[in-house]
Amino acid sequence: MSFRSSPLFSGDLYDSALRLAASPDVPRQQGQGHAQAGDKWQHMLALGWQGVLVAEEDGGVGARLQEVAAIVEAAARQGQAVPLADRCAVSPILLTAARAHPEAADLLSAITMGEASVCPAWGSSEVGSGHEHGPVLGADGVLMGTLSALDMSEPATHILLHAHDVTTQESVLVLLQWAQVAAAARHHVGVDERQYTDLALDGLQVTDQQVLLRGAAAADAVTRARHAGSLLTCVEAVGAAAAMIELTIDYLNTRVQFGVALSTFQALRHRTVEMYVAYENISGLVSRLIRQAHDNMHALTARDVVLAKFYAADVARMVSESSIQLHGGMGMTWEMLAARLAVQTMTGSLRYGDRAECLDWLTAQTLAEAA
């Protein structure tokens, strides 16, 4: 058996991201933890990857989602626990929508230069709709509510959150400096080695200058940003699945039992083919949607994105579990890249809408259309 995958979107960005992701990790300084940027993340900031989606007039590259997808896929193949989707796609989309605001315009330039990094923050949500059940902004300009599981694997200078203004009944985008909320942050490390942060916002005073966008424009920006985040988690699943299949086949070709290679056992070959077929299906689906979004993010429907996310979650679990099982006992050791990929892929499928949320949304939509 042999298999070598082709990238969804080949090119210089994919090649450079793959080389960087495959290079040895430099440990963070002792005692600094995630308060200090990792060596690879600093390199990514220096390469300007946060500015790939930023327009040229704002100092960015002016590229589309396809270019970010190439970076995300390459990093996913090596199990890099860095918040690429959040910082290089979701936040730039939100800031670009609010670029008429001086703070947003300045921040777009800063993230392109690698001088700032913005972590997007969401409340619990209805997947696909952009409707949030998160923080609320009171009449006195005070934020109330909590934010859970912010990806702070790498430090951020700002938090950009979506809240509901109880006075105007509008969606609002609020920009907070990390220093404003650092004292209220609770950190925990997930099984995928990412650092997650929970924030309690109760009583946090917000000025008018910190509200970047309001109303329908804010809601539309949130929807497009969430769609981009969902699609990029699917891209992560594709990249990791390709790597796991390659690693599994290499392992089966190498390991010998009863004097013959494991790759000669029919049952194991059938299981590997199932992984390959699932990978080909999801890669084709995700590639089509990314190309569609590349031409026009507004052309993507919520149903398209949710269906892709729902299917990607199934493929992620199937390929991950199969890879671990086909590796035998070694598949349970963290030293094996296949094991790390499996864990990170399954946990990654929970971001921007897990399988249960997607199913609930699809069910509700189907019932509404039938009524």
In a domain, 55, yes or no: no
Mean pLDDT of the chain: 90
Residue with tokens 């013959």: 260
Tell which residue, 103, 121, 111, has the closest CA to residue 49: 111
Among 83-87, 197-201, 292-296, 307-311, where is mean pLDDT lowest?
292-296
In a domain, 76, yes or no: no
Q: What is the pLDDT of residue 248?
A: 96
In a domain, 362, yes or no: yes
Q: What is the pLDDT of residue 131?
A: 44
Look at residue 35 and tell me whether its pLDDT is greater than 50.
yes
For 106-122, the pLDDT digits (tens) are 999 999 999 999 999 97
Distance, in Å, from the CA atom of 182 to the CA atom of 87, rounded to the nearest integer, reads 19
In a domain, 207, yes or no: no
For 204-247, the pLDDT digits (tens) are 899 999 999 999 999 999 999 999 999 999 999 999 999 999 99
Q: Do the Cβ atoms of 222 and 164 come closer than 8 Å?
A: no
In a domain, 303, yes or no: yes
Burial of 186 (0-12, 13-18, 19+ CB in 10 A): exposed
Domain of residue 327 covers 218-370
Look at residue 180 and tell me whether its pLDDT is greater than 80.
yes
C-alpha angle with apex 80: 77 to 81, nearest 5 degrees? 135
In a domain, 305, yes or no: yes
> What b/e readout covers 121-152, taking b as 16+ CB neighbours within 10 angstroms?
bbbebebbbbebebbbbeeeeebebebeebbb
Residue with tokens 């190309």: 291
In eight-state DSSP terms, residue 210 is G
Paired with 151 in beta bridges are: 196
In a domain, 328, yes or no: yes
Q: What is the pLDDT of residue 140?
A: 87
Q: What is the pLDDT of residue 34?
A: 55
In a domain, 323, yes or no: yes
In eight-state DSSP terms, residue 336 is S
The torsion angles phi and psi of 127, rounded to 5 degrees, stand at -60, 135
Q: What is the pLDDT of residue 78?
A: 93
- As for how many domains the chain has, the answer is 1
Instruction: State the alpha helices, DSSP H only, in 255-301.
Output: 266-295
Q: What is the pLDDT of residue 130?
A: 46
Most confident of 41-45, 130-134, 361-365: 41-45
The CATH number covering residue 236 comes to: 1.20.140.10
Classify residue 281 as left (phi > 0), alpha (psi -120 to 50) or beta. alpha
Over residues 40-45, the mean pLDDT reads 94
Look at residue 295 and tell me whether its pLDDT is greater than 80.
no
For 262-279, the pLDDT digits (tens) are 999 999 999 999 999 999
Look at residue 46 and tell me whether its pLDDT is greater than 90.
yes
- Percent helix, strand, coil in the chain, to 5, is 55, 15, 30
Antiparallel, parallel or unpaired: β 136-137 and 158-165: parallel
Distance, in Å, from the CA atom of 271 to the CA atom of 331, rounded to the nearest integer, reads 15
Percent of the chain with pLDDT over 70: 94
